Amino acid sequence: MSDLRDFRDAIDSIEVTNQQKKKMYSNIIMKAEQKKKFSLPTLALKLSPVLSLCLIVVLAVSLGLPSFAGRKSADAFSPGDVPETIPTENDKHAYFTNDDLSCEIDGVVYYLDVHEITETSPSAHLTACSDGSDDIQPITCISWNEDNKVYRLYTFASESEENLWKLRDRIVEELLK
Amino acid sequence: MAVNYQIAQQQFAMLYERNYQLVYRICYTYMKNQYDAEDCLEDVFVKVYTGNIEFNDEDHEKAWLTVASINTCKDHLKQFWRKKVVGDELIENRGVSSKKDNYLLQEVMALPEKYKDVIYLHYYLGYKSEEIAQMLKRTASTVRNQLAEGRKMLKIRLEEIENE
């Protein structure tokens, strides 16, 4: 297409004046020097004392926070939370009585512990428990928050957490009806 | 350290001298006005200056600057606060001599980007399809199709203008 060869002439006719050329060049140098001045490594060096101070403050606050924790939010508990006190074979701080919420399903006994969340009792503290016998099985426990309460479901049987979650609704319904 | 800086500055000045027209013409073709073209040119050369780029030879240098200019212009065009600029009066101001050249440039500048790129690189800068494909990261057959499509669109448009 012959017209497109004329295209070259059309583009060549776009001229840059000397004044434009010099102006652009000095702008380039100025922009480049500014870019170097405000580059990330340079900024990091200049700000490092300030950044270090901020980091110390953030660390101090985050380390200090848990001890001042008040009421835990609804999302504070996640599946498979480990109880705060894990009973051992010798641990007999508390015992289940007949009034405790428990049920038996397929030969396995499940216990449900329910605590109100209040300002003074931020979390449901799992009291050590045993079934009173000498033969204490490992505890499997799950906990969750609902309706301003903390629920802990556990069993002395060698149950997997996954299974406990699967059985949860059924057990809770059984125990709270 | 001061001597190295001076040499680097001198080399940059020579590179700029060799290429400012090429870069400006590409930027002007895309941006359609002097001021945006100058901004884009400055951005391209700032990248060279601050990027410590080493070129193998002048061909490599020219190819790099061409692609960088096209990409810089496209980035600028994407910015949402850009006003659309009508090209007519601005092209006239650039001293494009003949009416025919004026229309041709206008129509090439009005082409969709993908056709404008390849037309520019092939007909103005003389790159082959394979070279253009490498530069723009397209396949050679795509480039050839786009050249053919771009030519067809231009032909139709220029015939319409002649018949007006």
| A120: DSSP letter | S
- Based on the domain organization, do B120 and B68 belong to the same domain? no
User: Which domain-ending residue is among B82, B114, B132?
Assistant: B82
Establish if A1 touches chain B: CB-CB under 8 angstroms: yes
Please indicate, yes or no, whether residues B53 and B90 belong to a single structural domain of this protein.
no
B147 touches A at CB < 8 Å: no
Phi, psi of A61 (to 5 degrees): -65, -45
Q: Tell me the residue range of the domain where B52 lies.
A: 1-82
Q: Among A112-121, B3-12, B13-22, B95-104, where is mean pLDDT lowest?
A: B95-104
Q: How many domains does chain B have?
A: 2
Instruction: Find how far residue B110's CA is from the centre of its chain.
Output: 14
Are residues B75 and B91 both part of a single domain?
no
**pLDDT above 90 (res B23):** yes
* Comparison of pLDDT for A149 and A64, the residue scoring more: A149
* Residue extents of the structural domains in chain A: 2-66, 94-176
Write down the pLDDT at residue B43. Answer: 95
CA distance A2 to chain B (A): 10
Q: Which residues contact A137 (CB under 8 A, 6 or more apart)?
A: A156, A157, A158
Q: Any CB–CB contact under 8 A between A61 and chain B?
A: no
From CA A11, how far away is CA A7, in angstroms rounded? 6
Per-residue confidence (pLDDT) for residue B67, from 0 to 100? 93
B156 and B94 in a common domain: yes
Secondary structure class of A53 (helix, strand, coil):
helix
Yes or no, beta carbons of B16 and A25 under 8 Å apart: yes
pLDDT tens figures, A86-130: 444 444 333 343 345 778 888 887 878 777 766 544 444 444 343
Residues B74, B104, single domain; the answer is no
The single residue listed with the structure tokens 């924790």 is A69
Q: Residue A71: pLDDT band by 50, 70, 90 thresholds?
A: very low
Contact A9 B101 (CB under 8 A): yes
Nearest CA to B20 among A167, A17, A69, A153?
A: A17
Q: Does residue B154 belong to the interface with chain A, where contact is any CB pair within 8 Å? A: yes
Q: Which chain B residues are Cβ-neighbours of A37 within 8 angstroms?
A: none
CB contact (8 A) between residue B104 and residue A31: no
- Model confidence at B68, pLDDT cuts 50, 70, 90, reads very high
Rounded to the nearest 10 degrees, how much is the dihedral formed by the CA atoms of B103, B109, B114, B118?
70
Structure tokens at A78: 């996640």
**A24 and B25: CB-CB below 8 Å?**
no
Co-location of B69 and B5 in the same domain: yes
Domain of B18, CATH number, reads 1.10.1740
- Mean pLDDT calculated for residue range A1-30: 83
Q: Which of A124, A104, A99, A101 is nearest to A175 (CA)?
A: A101
pLDDT of residue A42: 58
Collapsing DSSP to helix, strand or coil, A147 comes out as: coil
Contact state of B24 with A13 under an 8 Å Cβ cutoff: no
Q: Is the pLDDT of residue A85 over 60?
A: no
Among the candidates B82, B111, B131, a domain finishes at B82
Cβ contacts of A89 within 8 Å, gap of 6 or more? A136
| Complex ipTM | 0.77
Angle at B124 between CA B118 and CA B129, to 5 degrees: 40
Shared-domain flag, residues B57 and B12: yes
Q: Kindly report the CATH number assigned to the domain that includes residue B136.
A: 1.10.10.10
- B117, B141: one domain: yes
User: In this structure, what token pair is assigned to residue A108?
Assistant: 């396995």
Q: CB contact, 8 Å: A125 with chain B?
A: no
Distance from CA of B93 to the nearest CA of A (A): 10
Residues B6 and B78 in one domain: yes
A15/B94 CB distance under 8 A: yes
B115 and B143 share one domain = yes
Same domain, B69 and B124: no
In this structure, the answer to whether residues B128 and B110 fall within a common structural domain is: yes
pLDDT, tens only, B118-148: 988 888 888 888 999 988 888 888 898 898 8
DSSP A67: G
Whether the predicted model's global pTM rises above the 0.80 cut: no
Q: Are A143 and A161 a contacting pair, CB within 8 Å?
A: no
Q: What is the 3-state secondary structure (H, E, C) of A85-112?
A: CCCCCCCCCEECCCCCEEEEECCEEEEE
Report which listed range, A74-88, A141-155, B75-89, is most confident: A141-155
- Assess A4–B contact: CB distance below 8 Å, yes or no: yes
**Per-range mean pLDDT, top range of A67-76, A105-114, A142-151, B123-132:** B123-132
Give the whole-angstrom CA distance, residue A121 versus residue A124.
Answer: 7
